[in-house]
Structure 1
């Protein structure tokens, strides 16, 4: 398998087309119909779920953070695909719906797939293996300057070749994700990194998968806030898959934040949790805000090989506040 998907990309159409009955199809409908047809046929011929996920991830990335593309238009790409796919009684259509549901997150977009399956459509055999990956070894690497940090997580499954998702976080740009890719030889990639690294200028450390999630979730969240994003095309293609794999990792709040709250060390963590809860932030978001602070200090420990500065950690926890509400757009 290549590091990233090399499948065909759907071709965009700008002209109107006539149906057989003489009525007109709008360009978005023509585009969605062509995407569903071409991708569906490809998924029917596929025998490896990872290849299918890469193909659909690439498809979803076509409108994400693209110059000149309205973000609201890009957001409906997946919904448009679902609407068009749900009406096709074909194995490839059901496969596409299952992959879209897997990349979208647990419980999302499943009704359309279930409805198509209830009508007697059978998906390819590999669909049953979607999401059945288990996180394995994770590691982080960077240089002594700390501008960029790479985080990689390997995934294993019985009967399938392992792969790893590698993400580059650029702290010089505010801690955003600058690139991401999928490699099919995690151990070989790790050996090469160890072989060609400069011990005086670079570092490479194995980290728990939960720590990898703690480092990457804030980075992906920061990337979503970018307007003019210096992102690679490869990131657009692999972003949906990388986020799906990220959800398979243990919650970072189970290592770091839970211990802080339980031990009341530092006490600022519990005070921050109470303050955010009183401001209306739900429990899940409170834990993630605390985890973001922990991830920031973990990054400093990894890059500078120095212990956490307790005074700075306490100050960052005291600075946590509930997000202000954004004003709605005028009609």
Structure 2
């Protein structure tokens, strides 16, 4: 286990290094200049532009800028935002709770609804299965921004059940404000998880040991719980981990549509004005979340199927 964790930690560090290089290079090579944003469209003398570039180290060669930025990241200094004139770490910490609430809410909906629909479709062939397949197909094909427009139009404008914008305050207010964004964010991923759950459970239902268990008179609920669902959890867990990690990326569209002051909206606004430090820091945060969730899934898999741990031990 110690060797496995060390190898995965090394892989995460290598991934972060490659990602930081890719993000740093792509952001700086894109057209536009942060100094133009800082000047607010006003004309300025070359001396004033040079002073702004020197203040934010924009006049240094790209390798020098990267080394300075990477060195600051290693010491906990993510730089200073060009747009907000604040430390990037403070900006992220202030907006992170909203994004975590949204991601957690959406993940809960995805797991509960996706697993329920997938299991229902696998265990109820016929009309129920076809209905779930059609519904999940529509959900999977619906982009988050389209779902956001439809949800706001129906539940906010016409029915007035939920607010359309803002983060809300307090537990009840936050849940009320995040319900529609969470549904819009979870819709596509719920359909995906339901289909994976259905396919995995159908595969397990056709196994010989399931037929043997049924022929021995074991109740159907026990057969599903002990022999079908548990063995089907492998691919379901993998997809769930990928989906939860992907929610951090998808939040940018939903947060912008619903006016939520989260990490996603911060990233979109920072890309527009080429706020280099913010874009780089948020990108690294998303990649780190992906890597940590994948590591957690790998650690959970042997608990679901002990044969995986035995196979690793035999291979080593």
Considering fraction of residues, name the structure with more strand: 1
TM range, smaller chain: under 0.3
Bigger relative contact order, structure 1 or 2, given CA contacts below 8 A and separation 6+?
A: 2
Instruction: State TM-score, norm by structure 2.
Output: 0.27
Structure richer in helix, relative to its length: 2
- Which of 1 and 2 has greater Rg? 2
